[in-house]
Amino acid sequence: MNTVTLKVLIVDDSAMYRKIIQSVLEVCPGVEIVGNADNGKIALTKIRSVKPDLVILDIEMPEMDGLEVLEYLRRESSDTAAIVFSTYTTEGARITLRALELGAFDFISKPRSGNLEENMKLFKSGIEPMIDALLRQKTVRTAVKEIPFLHRNRIQTSPIFVPQSTHHEKSRAVAIGISTGGPVALSKLLPKIPADIGIPLFIVQHMPAMFTEALAVKLNAISQIWVREAVDGEEIYVNTAYIAPGGRQMKVEQSAGSGRLIIRLTDDSPENNCKPSADYLFRSIAYCYGRWATGVIMTGMGYDGSEGLKCMKECGAVIIAQDETSCAVYGMPRKPVELGIVDVITPLEQMAEEICRTVR
């Protein structure tokens, strides 16, 4: 098999940002820069001619903005992936969520300050894991084309139940870890959770501050249960989904005063380069709920959540993983599946049903 190369088109109306992106990508293994554009209209012409695998896409541009480019890619059912630039503002977060709905693979926040070298370092730390994930995806797609039966075998239309010897209790809480592809996946999952599910849900979605608040507002508007960004010290109620705020760690603990379970937000260090971290949440769920809990691991890059799920499994919790076919990136679910701690592997479309099964 030939070595896989990711062809990248850079689209930004700022010459400085185009220089930052190009300087970083030029030294990335497996990346070939096939052009640049300073607005969406020029970008579409180049997309049609050079057929890039990836577009690094600014949102706010003259003549045609990034959202219009994404709408074109979706309308044409293009195989070109897009990573969008976002700004650290409330409006920037809202627009970023719309970009993800339109099919953007992920986003990177634009640096707000610092010199050129510092901004290049920030961009490099954000883009490299995404490039690695897209290269792996292209490698798999290439293998599928070369071996047609492999694609057929990978399609899963129903959950896979992995035999386990442990007896599981009815769950009293559900904890979810999710990253790349998460906003779209959650927008499909949470509306299917019934209003009277009777338990709380705790969600770690890897996102910066402000973005998680916008996500909670959006998900609340389309869900039957309450969805909110968690607040430090608040008591936990059923029929509510609590999203960990970006830039904070979230755990569940027992209140020293009332003895009831509360949410605690901390400034503890990142785990797996993540803050919030699924591992951090899952450990607290294992301690507070034990075998009366369900751990869910969904689409995302990296391996955050694996160690925490091991703790939950050791306590007798049920573990559910999203299947590879329905993941935007099959990173976070892969390791728990390989470790043999997963009870159910399910497509996204049936995830809500499997969660409810553990509760009822």
Does 291 have pLDDT greater than 90?
Answer: yes
Q: How far apart are CA 5 and CA 123, in angstroms?
A: 20
Q: Read off the pLDDT band of 158 (50, 70, 90).
A: low
**In CATH, what is the architecture of 166-359?**
3-Layer(aba) Sandwich (3.40)
The C-alpha angle 103, 106, 110, rounded to 5 degrees, equals: 125
Greatest Cα pair distance, the chain, in angstroms, is: 66
Question: Given this model, what pLDDT does residue 215 score?
Answer: 96
Calpha distance 39→12 (Å, rounded)? 6
Q: Is the pLDDT of residue 216 over 70?
A: yes
CATH 3.40.50.2300 placement within the chain: 6-149
Q: Which of 38, 206, 323, 326 is catalytic?
A: 206
DSSP 309: H
Contact 23, 56 (CB under 8 A): no
Q: Which of 53, 304, 323, 343 is an active site residue?
A: 304
Q: Hey, what are 343's tokens?
A: 């009870």
Query: What is the CATH number that goes with domain 6-149?
Result: 3.40.50.2300
pTM: 0.89
Predicted pLDDT at 118:
83
Say how far apart CA 209 and CA 194 lie, in whole Å: 28
86, 109, 171, 179: the catalytic one is 179
304 is catalytic: yes
Half-sphere exposure of 309 (CA within 13 A, CB side): 31
**pLDDT tens across 56-101, in order?**
999 989 889 999 999 999 999 888 999 998 877 778 889 999 999 9
pLDDT of residue 2: 56
> Where along the chain do the CATH 3.40.50.180 domains lie?
166-359
Q: What is the pLDDT of residues 95-151, one digit of tens each?
A: 999 999 999 999 998 877 667 788 888 889 889 999 999 998 888 766 655 545 444
Query: Is 179 noted as a catalytic residue in this protein?
Result: yes
H-only helix segments in the chain: 15-25, 40-50, 66-75, 90-101, 116-146, 148-154, 182-189, 211-222, 278-289, 306-314, 334-339, 351-359
Q: List residues bridging with 204 in a β-sheet.
A: 177
Mean pLDDT, range 294-303, rounded to an integer: 96
pLDDT for residue 155 is more than 60 = no
- At 260, give phi and psi (nearest 5°): -85, 160
